[in-house]
Amino acid sequence: MPRFVVWPSELDSRLSRRYGRVVPKNVAVKGPSVSEVEDAAIILGMKIVEKDPEKLNPRLSGLDEELRTPGVLIIESQYGKGKSLRLIAEKIRELRSRMERGRTKRR
């Protein structure tokens, strides 16, 4: 199975492709954390080979602090990197909407 490096910034809708976003803007999510990426990957059946929550993507060095999302994962997936990132972004969006619906029901 292919292994690849996943930075949360590759899924971040706030960033341009110049700064490392890989997925299309309509699929990307706002400010994904490394733990959200990890949770989504595990739910999708991908294997987390390595995790470093402190590492910062070198492409983000020139950006404002608020746009920098630390963390990196090395993931093993049956799909290629592009398809895997798209699936992870969609799963994060789904998980966030579930959490939001759960909050509104309790009020």
Can you tell me the mean pLDDT for 54-78?
89
Banded pLDDT at 105 (limits 50, 70, 90): low
Which CATH number does the domain housing residue 34 bear? Answer: 3.30.56.30
Domain count, the chain: 1
Q: Supply the DSSP symbol for 60.
A: G
Q: Which domain holds residue 79?
A: 3-106
For residues 8 and 87, is the Cβ–Cβ distance under 8 A?
no
What's the pLDDT score for residue 41?
97
Cα distance between residue 100 and residue 80, in whole Å: 30
Banded pLDDT at 107 (limits 50, 70, 90): low
- The pTM score is 0.90
Mean pLDDT of the chain: 91
pLDDT tens digits for range 91-102:
999 999 988 887
